[in-house]
Structure 1
Amino acid sequence: MFDPTRPFVLLDDVAAGRARLFSGLIEAVVAETADAVLPALTRLVAPRPWAGFVGFEAGYALEAVLPERSAPAGEPLLWFGHFAHDVVVDAKALLGGGPASLGDAVPGIDHPAYAARLARVAALIAAGDIYQANLTFNALVAVGGHPLHLYARLRAGSRAPYGALLFTGSLWVLSFSPELFFRLDGRQLTARPMKGTARRGGDAAEDAALAAALQADPKNRAENLMIVDLLRNDLSRVGDNVAVPALFDIETYPTVLQMTSTITATARAGMTAADVLARLFPCGSVTGAPKIRAMQVIAEVEDAPRGVYTGSIGAISASGDAVFNVAIRTLVMAPGWPAARLGLGSGIVADSAAPDEWAECLAKARFLHRRGTPDLIETMRVEAGTICDLGRHLARMTASAAFLGIAFNPDAARALLVRVCAGATGRARLLAAPSGALAVQLGPLPQTPAGAVRVAVVPLPVDTDDWRLRHKTGDRDFYDAARRTSGEFEAVFVRPDGYVTEGSFTNVFMRRGGVLVTPPVGEGLLPGILRARLLAAGEAVEGRLTAADLDGGFFIGNALRGLLPAQRV
């Protein structure tokens, strides 16, 4: 029986839907001081299974030339448990549900101070002292609710293959890491460092363009290659036949694109998982190159210890196999703490610019507010059994499904719609769940007021690059709330730069010189079906509109209601 008041470790592959729970603590191996780290690691031997973490500062105890560094207050340098139970579980069912809240990440450093630190690192790179350094800082995140429920909330939107939830009895660690440090299967060693990050696009086409740009970017390729060379060297300390079967791959996650490479080796006979951990730790992707000198620079430049962040969480099985993550996207908290601690960082190379690196660090905190994948929705007009614009609706849902990683079958959706809507007139609502399950709801057509409808013009309530703006999903409360608050038939949104985007359920059009003008999709809006039809027919063109343009009358419309005259109120 799982008891969350006692120490446990949950290793959670959210992407694959697999999780292992280690519970029933028999013995804990803990290193509070630098001189205790190596003796602690030597105790992590099969056939006893172990699960736990190594904090970043423990790495300084593994190299004689490095200065000793302490972990943050209240954290050990290393904590592993020998558990009575190691079982496969349904993590979602195990965690349950409950109230949980997270605030924004508040950096413990401002941009000018960060830029000054980056300048110190850049000067060392320019002098040839190092090639790269991973520069990080801590942020605080206000949290509410039990850590189990916080983890459950964040895991739904993470798709992290190397997630972990760990409780030592006094310290909680919530990790949503996409990065593998190393895996040991028999004598086969695999490392997959991540180095190179870009934001997600608003749709599949923009995603593909951003991924191609990231893969071709000289800075990111150079940064990634440095770490590959470092890991090749590290793996040669514990194995033979070192190879790089994959270089500069791009992996897609809910909020970012990541560049990864894969390095493999054959562990030498007699080399245990604990030996590998001791010789490889910390991962080169979170230090820099050359590794030892980069760690010295980190100790000089960063003003606070990292703790579990950029350390590693993982397990050694009874057979001696092991898997360890790189503990990025990781929250640490304890009872009585006013907030959770979150580490943020990026790799600094010769041409790094402080504004870009600062923005990359902040972008890595976006996972805090990424919700689980919502249902996709298409709302269609049905006339005597004919589903209007069915091809366009299915094409849009197919594109959104590809972007969100939903297994959508358009042929199955078409067949279901045709069957449900046979002979009907009204509104058909197609829903595609994240699992790929389909449902159709059939109802009457909506009533529309006679004459020009009243429309409020209000500020856009989310960032203009929010992916939700370009996809029709069940997560549109931010729009619906603004319309309800206005009290009008519709609310049209305006970006901070003054340009109009769309309505909460309609696109916007204005007549200029005999043709309808509608805002470009790139402004941050849904590619509506009526809009697509009018553009294809040459009855509308894309062009920017300001709020002032709407003063003399305009149109709103969607595939269900058609084009409606509108007046601003």
Structure 2
Amino acid sequence: MDDFLLFTSIRYDPQLLQAPSLGFTNIGWNQEPSPFYMLDFHRDRMLRAAIHWNWTPAIAKISGSEGLETLRIFLQSITSEASNGPHRLMITLARDGTLAHQISPLPETHINNFFPKHLPRPGPENSVQSKNELFPVKEPIYEIILDSLKTAKSQFTHHKTTYRDVYNDARKRAQIAPGDKKEVLLINDDGYIMEGTISTPYFWRDGKWVTPPVSGNFNPSQGSGGNDGTTRRWALERSLVTEQPVPVDSLVDGEECWISNGLRGFIFGEVKM
């Protein structure tokens, strides 16, 4: 397969510029500050994929501080005429280093859900403190369901590309329509949770939040088979979560969980078996 592109979806949101003044610290790139959510992590993920496929011009395009600045300037040019509200920037990177984009509006999201100090323990007692202590808010609630078929690990599940048939097919099987507050979890051939179709999942296990493990480089014998999402990396580096295999038969109907992605931050969910 040679006709795919690397891609990432970045949130452009002017409210992110307020994060440092609101008490959010250790938040990464946005301490610049920046309206582009976790821009450096998005760049790093695309760069790892370009290296995997040995796309030399693409590697040169986004490598180093110069490559990060090239990407920032590209994004700035896209949003210079956008309205002040949040937008989704779908950025693609071709083998020859060509950058392209699509832009569309996004709904508002509480800023606590972009840079949570902690993920609250399961239970209703945490609903009040979430707004007061930089916890993510538990609204809206997403319905988290399981795919009815298993998905094989591949370089196209480990890296994020425009070849997304396995994800699109899973959403069709789950009958998820655009705008639905639902996510479907992929299950690998070993019977473990791989990832969500548009998010990284987190589950409460052994007194902590855990997420399926991801190998540093693609290896079908290691890890869950999913990709190293931007918000996933952020949460791991700040010890909000840890890696741990999650057997599909360990999930319980109604259990609380969290999912996250580079467009909406951290989102509260409930498992529906």
**TM-score by structure 1 length?**
0.33
SS of the residue corresponding to residue 386 of structure 1 reads: coil
1:164-179 alignment, distance < 5 Å: none
Cα deviation, 1:260-289, whole Å, max 9, x if unaligned, reads xxxxxxxxxxxxxxxxxxxxxxxxxxxxxx
Tell me the CA shift for residue 547 of structure 1: 1.8
CA positional deviation for 1:491: 1.1
**For the residues of structure 1 that align with 2:107 and 2:171, how far apart are their CA atoms?**
17
- Mapped contact 1:375–1:432 kept (Cα < 8 A): yes
2:178 pairs with 1:475: no
Q: Equivalent residue for 1:377?
A: 7
Alpha-carbon deviation of 1:435? 2.5
| Alpha-carbon separation, structure 1, partners of 2:107 and 2:2 | 30
- Within a 5 Å distance, the mapping from 1:88-487 to structure 2 comes to 371-384=1-14, 386-406=35-55, 407-408=57-58, 409-410=61-62, 411=67, 412-422=70-80, 424=84, 425-445=86-106, 450-458=139-147, 461-464=150-153, 466-487=154-175
Give me the whole-angstrom Cα distance separating, in 2, the residues matched to 1:540 and 1:515.
7
Which ranges in structure 2 are unaligned for 5 or more consecutive residues? 15-33, 110-137, 177-181, 215-222
**Quick check: which has more Rg, 1 or 2?**
1
SS in 2 for 1:440: strand
Counterpart Cα distance in 2 of 1:487 and 1:500: 20
- Specify the code of the residue in structure 1 equivalent to 2:248: A
Pick one of 177, 198, 201 that aligns with 1:505: 198
CA distance in 1, matches of 2:54, 2:268: 38
Q: Deviations over 1:158-189 (max 9, x none)?
A: xxxxxxxxxxxxxxxxxxxxxxxxxxxxxxxx
1:28 paired residue number: none
Is the 1:374–1:473 Cα contact (8 Å) retained in structure 2?
yes
Instruction: Output the CA distance in 2 between the equivalents of 1:391 and 1:460.
Output: 34
Counterpart amino acid of residue 381 in structure 1? R
Q: Distance in 1 between matches of 2:150 and 2:108?
A: 27
Contact 2:151/2:187 (<8 A) preserved: no
Check conservation: 1:499, 1:547, Cα contact below 8 A. Answer: yes
Identity of paired residues, percent? 27
SS at match of 2:251: helix
1:456 CA drift (Å): 2.1
Give CA deviations for 1:76-121 in whole Å, capped at 9, x if unaligned: xxxxxxxxxxxxxxxxxxxxxxxxxxxxxxxxxxxxxxxxxxxxxx
Question: Is the CA contact 2:171–2:197 (under 8 Å) kept in the aligned structure 1?
Answer: yes
Cα distance between partner residues in 2 of 1:462 and 1:518: 18
Secondary structure of the 1:534 match is helix
Name the counterpart of 1:491: 184
Contact 2:141 2:268 in 1 (8 A): yes
Q: Output the CA distance in 2 between the equivalents of 1:388 and 1:380.
A: 6
Query: Superposed, which structure 2 residues align to 1:3-152 within 5 Å?
Result: none
CA distance in 2, matches of 1:504, 1:417: 25
Residue 525 (structure 1) aligns with: 226
Deviation of 1:568 after TM superposition, in Å, equals 2.6
Aligned amino acid, residue 48 of structure 2: A
How far did residue 443 of structure 1 move?
1.4
Number of aligned residue pairs:
198
Letter of the 1:475 partner, please give it.
Y
Q: Secondary structure of 1:387's match?
A: coil
Contact 2:150 2:189 in 1 (8 A): no
SS in 2 for 1:523: coil
Q: How far has the Cα of 1:447 moved from its partner?
A: 7.8
Deviation at 1:513, TM superposition (A): 5.2
> Which letter maps to 1:555?
W
Amino acid at match of 1:547: V
Q: CA deviation at 1:373?
A: 4.1
2:78 corresponds to which letter in structure 1?
A: V
- Does the 8 Å contact 2:204/2:210 carry over to 1? yes
Matched with 1:534 is: 235
Normalising by structure 2, what TM-score?
Answer: 0.66
Q: CA deviation at 1:440?
A: 2.3
* Contact preservation (8 Å) 1:460, 1:496: no
Q: Deviations over 1:328-363 (max 9, x none)?
A: xxxxxxxxxxxxxxxxxxxxxxxxxxxxxxxxxxxx
Q: Give the partner amino acid of 2:46.
A: M
Q: Distance in 2 between matches of 1:392 and 1:560?
A: 13
**Superposition deviation, residue 418 in structure 1:** 2.3
Aligned-residue offset at 1:445: 1.2
Once the two structures are superposed, residues 239-298 of structure 1 have per-residue CA deviations (whole angstroms, 9 ceiling, x without a partner) of xxxxxxxxxxxxxxxxxxxxxxxxxxxxxxxxxxxxxxxxxxxxxxxxxxxxxxxxxxxx
Q: Which amino acid aligns with 1:436?
A: G
